């Protein structure tokens, strides 16, 4: 039960960090005379914000992160069902949440790694040749990944320690 609670807390916090990282526009910040901040959805400079469009690397990063967030929401539903001792045959809700959250963490890791690598490669010239730097929105997505991995491990431990429904329990 304790591992379910800890897993649900990590899942909720991971979802909040992931959504905050995706939705905020402080992925790349420019300091100095040309002060600006840019995210996946908009870029702001001198109190004027414009929508970021047409960039394939931005669209790829957006899509991959949204897919991972969707999987994470399903994982949270299974995490909540784990408290009700919900099961279908030998598959418990703890196992379902562990699989979905681990899959979400792994796809998030893979998708985030690919998306962030593309994003970093496309913006590295700007960072190296000016006073720009990656900021907190960029790092929140990495932090969410760590929490999702911990959450998946917690739910897997909870599944292994819960009694498996079967003919013996009837």
Q: What's the pLDDT tens digit per position in 107-137?
A: 666 766 676 677 778 777 777 777 788 889 8
Q: What is the pLDDT of residue 20?
A: 92
Number of domain units in the chain: 1
Could you tell me if residue 111 is inside a domain?
Answer: yes
- Long-range CB pairs of 104-108 (<8 Å, 24+ gap) are 104/68, 104/71, 104/72, 104/75, 104/148, 104/152, 105/145, 105/148, 105/149, 105/151, 105/152, 107/64, 107/67, 107/68, 107/71, 108/18, 108/65, 108/68, 108/71, 108/72, 108/144, 108/145, 108/148
**Which residues form the domain of 16?**
2-24+54-124+137-162
Question: CATH code at 116?
Answer: 1.20.140.150
Could you tell me if residue 131 is inside a domain?
Answer: no
Could you tell me if residue 35 is inside a domain?
Answer: no
Could you tell me if residue 41 is inside a domain?
Answer: no
């Amino acid at each position: 039960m304790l591992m379910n609670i800890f897993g649900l807390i990590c899942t909720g916090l991971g979802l909040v960090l992931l959504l905050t990282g995706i939705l905020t526009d402080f992925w790349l910040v420019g300091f100095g005379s040309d002060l600006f901040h840019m995210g996946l959805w908009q870029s702001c400079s001198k109190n004027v914000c414009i929508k970021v469009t047409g960039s394939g690397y931005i669209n790829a990063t957006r899509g991959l992160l949204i897919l991972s967030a969707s999987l994470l929401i399903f994982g949270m539903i299974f995490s909540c069902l784990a408290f009700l001792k919900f099961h279908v045959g030998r598959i418990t809700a703890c196992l379902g949440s562990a699989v979905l959250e681990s899959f979400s963490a792994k796809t998030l890791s893979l998708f985030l790694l690919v998306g962030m690598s593309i994003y970093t490669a496309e913006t590295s010239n700007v960072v190296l040749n000016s006073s720009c730097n990656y900021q907190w929105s960029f790092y929140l997505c990495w932090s969410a990944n760590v929490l999702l991995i911990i959450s998946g491990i917690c739910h897997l431990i909870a599944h292994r320690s819960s009694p498996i429904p079967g003919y013996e329990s009837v």
